[in-house]
């Protein structure tokens, strides 16, 4: 089934050369016969507002044009709709983890064809609950510890200029700083401690790196990676991640779970889908309400 009515929610600050890529895909969609509306975000949270304002049955697809953070915001807006259309992605960000997870083509012609007539796949997001805050969804992963501190500390200007290189700079800064605390984790009633925690809803992490090969976005639940916080362990686990063997590292424990509580020093950051989402303590659970995502197959 082709999608004749398409809304693109575009984050103009995401990635480099993003306006050119987004415009090319939009033109290709128009050439295929779609009516394309484009709305541009004006700041943090605006993508969620735009998605939540969509009238029922007015669109055949809502496309998030941006990075993983933009996809996250659009998904959080769409979940408020009574009958949401499928979610499409034009990957323009630094890592584009969900786009890699579902194996989206990166060239404009192939991507437009998929968005126009590709099948859909079920995605069961995770839900982050924090006291005094509205629940927030994530698609790919959430976590506390080293990765959350990196996300919280990365310089936005460096990120715009150097992309993934900015994360490398901040990773080195966090490694030199050291001193990761011990986090208290409860997974489906069983208690653990770790120096870093990655709650993986999908297989990939940081781009195309396989962190949790048994995780599946199409089924509710998570693979929880519990990592030590020492400097030597950080180096070893970074090498294991680059080799696609993080879950097999002797320093890493992997636990399957559906409901997780994370506790640590008050104010410790929590990242979700590559952006700062909040601070500890939080609980994380699997959503029972899926989101339909446009995929190549």
pLDDT 10s digits, 38-56: 999 999 999 999 999 999 7
> Do 192 and 219 belong together in one domain?
yes
The answer to the question of residue 210 being in a domain is yes
Among residues 85, 118, 151, the one where a domain terminates is 118
Taking Cα atoms as reference points, which of 8, 123, 113 lies closest to residue 54? 8
More confident call, 90 vs 93: 90
Co-location of 74 and 141 in the same domain = no
Distance of alpha carbon 128 from alpha carbon 135, whole angstroms: 6
Same domain, 62 and 95: yes
Q: Report d(CA 110, CA 130) in Å as an integer.
A: 40
Q: Residue 37: inside a domain, yes or no?
A: yes
Of 78, 97, 118, the residue at which a domain comes to its end is 118
Tell me whether residue 296 is in a domain: no
Residues 44 and 140 both lie in one domain: no
159-216 confidence digits (pLDDT tens) = 777 777 777 788 788 888 877 889 999 999 999 999 999 999 999 998 899 999 999 9
Identify whether residues 158 and 101 lie together within a single domain: no
Residue range 86-115: mean pLDDT, rounded: 95
Same domain, 282 and 153: yes
- 71 found inside a domain: yes
**Which range of residues forms the domain containing residue 13?**
5-118
Are residues 89 and 10 both part of a single domain?
A: yes
| Residue 297 pLDDT class (50, 70, 90 cuts) | confident
The residues, any chain, with a CB within 8 Å of residue 202's CB and separated by 6 or more, are 97, 98, 101, 139, 140, 141, 212, 215, 216, 217
Question: How many domains does one find in the chain?
Answer: 2
232 Cβ contact list (under 8 Å, min separation 6): none
Domain CATH code at residue 149: 2.60.200.40
Q: Are residues 136 and 266 in the same domain?
A: yes
146 and 21 co-located in one domain = no
* C-alpha torsion angle, residues 100, 154, 148, 124 (rounded to 10): -30
Q: How confident is the model at residue 17 (pLDDT cuts 50, 70, 90)?
A: low
Residues 186 and 72 in one domain: no
Does residue 294 belong to any structural domain of this protein? Answer: no
Domain-ending residue, one of 54, 83, 118: 118
Structural domain includes residue 293: no
In this structure, are 85 and 204 located in the same domain? no
Any domain includes 95: yes
CA distance 235 to 75: 34
Q: Looking at the structure, do residues 140 and 229 belong to the same domain, yes or no?
A: yes
8 A C-beta contact, residue 128 and residue 282: yes
When the pLDDT of each residue in the chain is averaged and rounded to a whole number, the result is 92
Residue-wise pLDDT for 262-278, tens only, equals 999 988 999 999 899 99
Of residues 116 and 168, more confidence is placed in: 116
Instruction: Output the domain CATH number for residue 98.
Output: 3.40.50.10330
The secondary structure element, H or E, covering residue 73 is helix 68-78
User: Which pLDDT belongs to residue 39?
Assistant: 96
- Which residue, among 210, 224, 209, has the nearest Cα to 257 in the 3D structure? 224
pLDDT digits (tens, 9 = 90+) for 64-75: 999 999 999 999
Question: In the prediction, which pLDDT does 51 show?
Answer: 97
Q: Determine how many CB atoms are found less than 10 A away from the CB of residue 35.
A: 13
pLDDT of residue 215: 98
- Does residue 297 form part of some domain? no
């Amino acid at each position: 089934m082709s999608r004749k009515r398409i809304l693109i929610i575009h984050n103009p600050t995401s990635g480099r050369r993003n306006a050119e890529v987004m415009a090319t895909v939009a033109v290709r969609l128009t050439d295929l016969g779609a009516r394309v509306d484009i709305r541009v975000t004006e700041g943090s949270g605006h993508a969620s507002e735009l998605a939540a304002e969509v009238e029922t049955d007015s669109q055949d697809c809502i496309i998030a044009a941006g990075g993983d953070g933009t996809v996250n915001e659009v998904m959080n807006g769409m979940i408020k709709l009574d009958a949401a259309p499928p979610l499409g992605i034009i990957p323009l960000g630094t890592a584009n983890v969900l786009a890699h997870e579902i194996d989206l083509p990166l060239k404009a012609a192939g991507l437009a064809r998929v968005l126009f007539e590709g099948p859909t796949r079920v995605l069961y997001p995770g839900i982050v609950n924090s006291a005094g805050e509205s629940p927030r969804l994530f698609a790919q992963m959430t976590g506390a510890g080293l990765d959350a501190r990196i996300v919280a500390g990365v310089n936005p200007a460096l990120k715009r200029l150097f992309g993934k290189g900015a994360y490398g700079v901040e990773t080195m800064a966090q490694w030199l700083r050291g001193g990761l605390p011990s986090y208290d984790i409860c997974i489906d009633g069983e208690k653990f401690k770790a120096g870093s925690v990655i709650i993986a809803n999908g297989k990939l992490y940081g781009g195309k790196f396989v962190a949790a090969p048994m995780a599946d976005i199409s089924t509710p639940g998570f693979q929880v990676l519990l990592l030590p916080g020492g400097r030597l362990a950080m180096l070893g686990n970074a090498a294991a991640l680059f080799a696609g063997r993080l879950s097999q590292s002797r320093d890493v424990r992997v636990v399957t779970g559906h409901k997780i509580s994370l506790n640590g020093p008050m104010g410790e950051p929590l990242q979700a889908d590559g952006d700062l989402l909040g601070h500890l303590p939080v609980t994380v659970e699997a959503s029972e309400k899926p989101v339909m995502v446009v995929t190549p197959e």
